[in-house]
Chains A and B, each alone.
Chain A
Amino acid sequence: MNPNASVTGAAPGGARPLLTRRTLALLLLGGAAGTTATFALRTAVTGSEGRAPTAAGGAAAAAFDETYLGRRIVGAAVPGSEVDGTPAWRVTVDGRRLHLMRRADGTYMSMVDHYATYPTALAATRAAVEEIGHQALRARI
């Protein structure tokens, strides 16, 4: 089972995320075996490292659910969406969709920042949060 699949299936589209960190961790632990899951869990929960555990933009980059600068950021790769090995991500900031785009080198950019790219979806999301300050994302974009 792909742990990302479970997370994506439950990824919030509205204002209130369905997953807590605890259930995310349980899903990850239950869904994948051994060190990969542990690594994914650590990245997801502590969010201490902006780079993916695999190659840039790697398909195995862990889903995340963390509070960054006071904003709840949740993201997971979309199963089956890979282009040249790079998956699309579904990301929300405080429950509102943040659209990410992929660059040909496997990096990501966000609607907030179109003229630079970031090594992972998490890094692109954090940079977007830094940029928007106290504003909210518009619901419809």
Chain B
Amino acid sequence: MAAKTVRQNQRTLTKAQKRRFVDAVLTLKRQGRYDEFVRTHIEFYLGDGEGRTRVAHMAPSFLPWHRKFLLEFERALQRVDPGVSVPYWDWTVDRTPAVSLWANDFLGGNGRRSDHQVTTGPFARRHGHWDITESVTDGDFLMRDFGRPDHDPTGLPSKAELAEAMRETVYDTDPWNSLSPGGFRNKLEGWSAERGARVWYNHNRVHRWVSGHMLGAGSVNDPVFWLHHAFVDLCWSRWRAHHPKAEPYLPLREPPIGDPQHDKVVPANDTLPPWDTPVHDLLDHGDLYRYA
């Protein structure tokens, strides 16, 4: 069996590691595989007010669904280059457009002011390797708008904000959606439990800070999506370590008939589409990869 994958903090990657990661991503794009991931994420985004079963967002399975999504992506990368893994971006530390994450030899920088087009780095449209085809708008270039200065200025979540989620002592709480008043999952995903409140935290706020494609249905078009979600995944791993006695996933069983969430969420003893993977198989990742 191949050596266990190690996911590194992106700031510790060597130049060669960055190049291999970028090259593998560009290869998947050229093969058409990358856009399949973009489409899957679009397909599985469902609001919790739609009255349908939701698995990827606004639901307890937000964390295992994205864990599996990242694993699938990482396996695809490793078919291109077995030595590559998904790095993580700790946004409580690397918080400015000047950090190496956004340098020309890695993910490239912010979009330009006029149309938010990313013009630097390997994912700039002008280099001819990164055409956007699965998106809401018709531009074929990657977009970013760090901090949204012209719309609603947004900062990255702080250490204190993340710590508040990490202090939660249960994994998730009824009503198992974006209005769950407590629980680690909703605090980390970043919805406010107050009805109508227009404040966003942690995971959601990072999507908003990067903005451009990261703001919408086509967020996977920006490769930083994977580095962001690898850190979200690491936070889940740390939460489990901090709360060893807590149930690693809730709800344990299907909410009963009559409960508004009956048949709307995936309980611990069920499986996750589109892979049909048992939630139980996604609660520990120690056999598959570790974080350095």
Q: Which residues of chain A come closer than 8 Å to B178, judged between CB atoms?
A: 103-105
Q: Is B247 an interface residue (CB 8 A)?
A: no
Which A residues form the contact surface with B (CB < 8 A)? Answer: 56-57, 83-84, 86, 88, 99, 101-107, 109-119, 130-138, 141
State which of B151, B179, B217 has its C-beta within 8 Å of the C-beta of A114: B217
- Contact partner, B136, options A88, A103, A104, A112, Cβ 8 Å: A112
Total CB contacts across the A-B interface at under 8 A: 102
Could you give 7 example pairs across A and B, Cβ below 8 Å? A105-B196, A107-B196, A109-B47, A114-B219, A116-B198, A136-B138, A138-B137
Residues of chain A lying within 8 A (CB to CB) of residue B137: 112, 132, 135-138
Q: Which of B6-14, B74-82, B200-208, B270-278 contacts A (4 or more CB under 8 A)?
A: B200-208
Decide: A56 near B50, CB < 8 A? Known: A103-B178, A114-B219. no
Q: Is B195 an interface residue (CB 8 A)?
A: yes
Of all chain A residues, which has the CB nearest B207? A115
Contacts of B97 in A (CB 8 A): none
A113 touches B49 (CB 8 A): no
Residue of B nearest to A100 (CB): B47
B145 to chain A, nearest CB (A): 9
* CA of A99 to CA of B45, assembled, Å: 12
What 8 pairs between A and B have smallest CB-CB spacing?
Answer: A102-B49, A101-B47, A83-B51, A105-B195, A135-B137, A115-B204, A115-B207, A111-B217
Q: Which residues of B contact A107 (CB under 8 A)?
A: 49, 196
| A117–B208 CA distance with the chains assembled, in angstroms | 12
Number of interface residues of B (CB under 8 A): 36
A7, chain B: closest CB distance, angstroms: 22
- Asked if B116 contacts A133 (CB within 8 A), the reply is yes
Q: Which residues of B contact A112 (CB under 8 A)?
A: 136-137, 215-217
Tell me the smallest distance from the CB of B15 to a CB of chain A, in Å.
32
Residues of chain B within 8 A (CB-CB) of A132 are 136-137
Q: Does B208 contact A104, Cβ atoms closer than 8 Å?
A: no
Contacts A104-B177, A104-B178 given; does A86 touch B136 at CB 8 Å: no
Rounded to whole Å, the gap between the CB of A70 and the closest CB of chain B is 15
Q: When A133-B115, A135-B139 are in contact, do A86 and B207 touch as well, CB less than 8 Å?
A: no
User: Within the assembled complex, what's the spacing in Å between the Cα atoms of A57 and B198?
Assistant: 14
Quick one: closest A residue to B137, CB to CB?
A135
Provide the bound-state CA to CA distance between A104 and B197, in Å. 12
B42, B47, B190: the one within 8 Å of A102 (CB): B47
**Interchain CB contact under 8 A, B138 and A138:** yes
